[in-house]
A and B are shown apart, each in its own frame.
Chain A
Amino acid sequence: MLRAKNRLGLVFFPAFDWAISPTHPEREERLLYTQDQVFEEGIADIEGIKFFNPGMATEKDVQRVHFCVPDVMSRVTESHLISAGGAIKAAEALMEKEVDKAFAIVRPPGHHAQRVVFGDRGFCIINIEAVMLENIRQRFGHRRIAIVDTDCHHGDGTQDIYWNDRDTLYISFHQDGRTLYPGTGFLDEFGGPAAIGYNINVPLPPETGEEGFLYVLDNLVMPILEEYKPDLVVNSAGQDNHYTDPITNMNFTAHGYAKLNHRLNPDIAVLEGGYSIEGALPYVNLGIILAMAGLDYSHVREPDYDPTKLKQSPRITEYIKELCEKIYERWCRKEGIARETLKGKEYVLRPRNVYYDTDGIMEEQTQKFKVCPNCSGLNTIHSRSDWGYEIFAVSIPRDACPACIDEGYKIYKETPEGKYFKTFLQDRVNDTYMSK
């Protein structure tokens, strides 16, 4: 019998009875062929690979990360809580040392869900990685974590959630925002005042192939991770860079995804997007499972794989090389950039508009970060949706100093009830959440 080199936990939950709508990319059929492939390969019989059912994330798990308007339970469905619960289950199996690595193949995905949630963005309502990470941080202690997001779309939600948190390094490679939803993820999105440099975007040109992705990994991501020394590496494993994906323009392969995962060597992978449900997902997921288990993935090939057609152009190779140099140089200079940016500042404001494409909502938002010498700094969000809801949120960060904690409660208390549709308080130090 086959034995895995790494004990691998799989939370495989295809949610066969849930869809955004019958013909939506995020529908019942999405993981059907992945399941066929996983079953046919006999993955469950490999010694060392263990399947887990997801649990269900709680309201508090979500509140630790999001401000849901009007509240958590009216925003999410059971499927969302199960998807996040699946990610939590994967991380829990890892933390409890039941497995060496874990992969949550769940749906719906989460990396477009930002801190404020008025509705569904890019098929995401709650950020399942963030809900997972904050749950395990709460239960198993604080950890330095790196999230490497390999989805073809910029993980703007994860970026937003960890914008000001230097203990969570966020690196996203994605198709350039000038050519793809959500239109963000450029070099200058570099982190909030307490975490300047800890948010790294790698916008790649359309038609980047296996060579380009692996170049970014080897020459940019791995050196940064070596310097950052995370306790835990999480892969937001979106699979829509695949050459057959219907909604993107990249040329990545199943074999490339397996190789990338093998070299990145994440502790946890969580499935994000990927909508080539027949041509890519069965092979990419299989490749990642084998790579994580430490097994041979060299026989994983798509039916129509043709390496000559997928060869990356030299122009793109050259572009990516320069891009990586530029980004790495900025990473090295992050302390200096922080000093320049924050010089004499008491607060940093981050105003922007956020569009909820799935639900058609436009949000106008300003985040205000206090520049605090003792902690990440108290932070507030003032936000209004074009459906007329206006909210105000106070967020006390995980590492808040006593002064910032007091200030947070003071602001919350002094905001009169009824001034906003809703006022929220998120106290990450005491794991306490309230709203009025």
Chain B
Amino acid sequence: MGLDMGGTHVDAVIIDRGNIVDIAKTPADRSDLFGSIWATLDNLLSGKKVSRIERINLSTTVSTNAIIEGKTAPVGMIIESGPGMDPSFMSCGSENIFITGYVDHRGREIKPFDPVEIQEAASRFKQQDIKTCAVVAKFSTRNPLHEINIQKMLKDEFCPITMGHTLSGKLNFPRRVFTSYLNCAVYHVFKAFCDSIRKAMQKENIHVPVNVLKADGGTISLDVGQQYPVNTILSGPAASLMGACAFNAGDKDAVFLDIGGTTTDISFVADGVPLFEPLGINIGPYNTLVRAIYSVSIGLGGDSAIHIENGELKIGPQREGFPMALGGQVPTPSDAMIVLGLLDFGNKDRAILAMKLLGEKLGMDARAASEVVYEKMADIIKQKVDSLIKDINSRPVYTVKELLYGKRLKPEYVSIIGGPARAMAPVLEKKFNLPCRVPENYEAANAVGAALAKTTAEITLLADTASGVLSVPEIGLYKRIDRNFTLDMARQKALELLKQRASILGAEGSETESEITEESSFNMVRGFYTSGKNIRIKAQVKPGLLYELRGVNYA
């Protein structure tokens, strides 16, 4: 069972080995998200054998809303910034304590932290009635001991204490600070949500794994999600893309468009696998290390306001109410598509009036004006997609081989979902000169995406044989290795640890197809001798779907 909580609706779907069994949709009550979810599930499950359910995957906006609406808890930040940039811009908590001490890029402790400073921080937090805190140190992914030792000092007084190194193995100190802050800030809201789910499940006598969807289109178990709720932010677009992927199985490069009323979301798949944000997703003013599907939203949809400015047609980026066909005051692309007979809703005469008014300013009749709007909308989308592909293909690379022979994204088809999808397909097909697919049942794409999402996990392994240390920050591993550790051993170790990690996160044995995504091994030369090797590996559970949808699912 998959469930997606959107801004306006809660959608749920039951899938049986790739076949959609049933779909339910209810309006969302933002003041009672949990109630809306439960009502939708109730609706979907009525008359079905609950015992046949194997798992429930939820995509929820609980964390996202808490951040966007500012309903977060106060957080105390302990930041060990070491030398480098002026760290003052990283103040994001209610209290921000910058401490001395530092670890360098190879994980060597250059200066220990001062316990007195930690005690002072704790008492400052308590004075402010702050109950949660985050501990983040520069290069803690290379050596987490400062974070771990500070956490040990504080663990009886604060809950939770988020340690920066547990959130991502990627290097980016400011993002580590912001991600840790957000994780603490939404912790209690998300925990309350998890508790309600557990209670309700017990009441309904459902005893199956419950997973939550992450921004990378994968899932984690409810329990792990509760510890790291920051990973569940902005999982809606991820669910939508995973759904679209389910309708478009294959291994090609493609553009995925979700054309809504207000916005169009653009994503890509490369060799059939969704493209990720290079570092992590942004939410509000914060850059994070939350692994996320790449998705760019532009202010252009069926209900975008159309204006003429200096004799030029301008669509969006704002929405100013409904299309005129539905009683709005401003012409919209939906009105144009109604006039052209591509959409059928509302009052067609009002739509014609809208295009007539627009046409007068452009010196043409209603139909011609509709054509112009329709074409222009496709042009805007095409231009944006082209510029995004250009950006993606010029992302920095660091080796001669990648620069000369690296993968370049070259879409072979366009998949479109959303209200105006079918209406827009013909003109987009013409503009892109690529086949445009509009999946059937796309209204439920988000829920389908949630239902079919697999557990994802990623680890970053660094072996420094000169220092004799192996570290894997995501699991807090920091241990000694001998000088003979090789790239081959590192690969095996990474895959083995990844498997363990994935199963902790909620994966079942059969679904973890692991792969090495990056690997390098550098000779470390000091003086005239090779002093060791610096081995770096990234491994992930291959992102993807539990099942492919059966049958032809696009029209």
Contact = CB atoms under 8 A, between A and B. Distances in A.
A51 B396 contact: yes
A303 B172 contact: no
A398 interface: no
Given A29-B534, A282-B105, A12 B520 contact: no
B181 interface: no
A286 B110 contact: no
Contacts of B108: 303
Interface of A: 1-2, 12-18, 22-23, 25, 27-29, 32-33, 35-37, 39-42, 44-45, 51-54, 78-79, 82, 246, 278, 282-283, 286, 290, 295-296, 298-303
Nearest to A302: B83
B98 to A, nearest CB: 11
B403 interface: yes
Contacts of B522: 16, 28-29, 32
Interface string B385-409: 0000000001111111101100000
Contacts of A23: 523, 525, 528-530
Interface residues of B, number: 44
Given A295-B85, A299-B87, A303-B104, A16 B174 contact: no
Interface string B168-192: 0011111100000000000000000
24 contacts: A12-B398, A13-B398, A15-B398, A17-B401, A18-B400, A23-B525, A23-B529, A27-B525, A29-B524, A29-B534, A35-B398, A36-B105, A40-B105, A40-B172, A45-B172, A45-B174, A53-B397, A53-B403, A82-B403, A286-B85, A295-B85, A299-B85, A299-B86, A300-B84
Contacts of B529: 23
Given A23-B525, A28-B523, A42-B175, A53 B394 contact: yes
A41 B85 contact: yes
Given A41-B174, A44-B279, 15 more contacts: A13-B398, A23-B523, A29-B525, A36-B105, A37-B105, A40-B105, A40-B139, A40-B172, A40-B173, A41-B84, A52-B396, A53-B394, A286-B85, A290-B85, A301-B83
B501 interface: no
Contacts of B172: 39-40, 42, 45
Minimum-distance CB pairs A-B, first 5: A301-B83, A42-B174, A39-B171, A36-B105, A40-B171
A27 B523 CA distance: 9
B530 to A, nearest CB: 6
B106 interface: yes
B47 interface: no
Contacts of A35: 398
B85 A15 contact: no
A45 B285 CA distance: 12
A53 B395 CA distance: 7
Contact of B171 (A36, A53, A278, A295): A36
B403 A29 contact: no
Nearest to B86: A296
A36 B141 CA distance: 11
B65 interface: no
Nearest to A15: B400
Contacts of B104: 303
A12 B105 contact: no
B527 interface: yes
B106 A45 contact: no
A301 B86 CA distance: 12
Nearest to A282: B105
A263 to B, nearest CB: 19
Interface string B91-121: 0000000000010111010100000000000
Contact of B175 (A18, A45, A282): A45
Of A17, A82, A298, A302, most buried by chain B (CB within 10 Å of CB) is A17
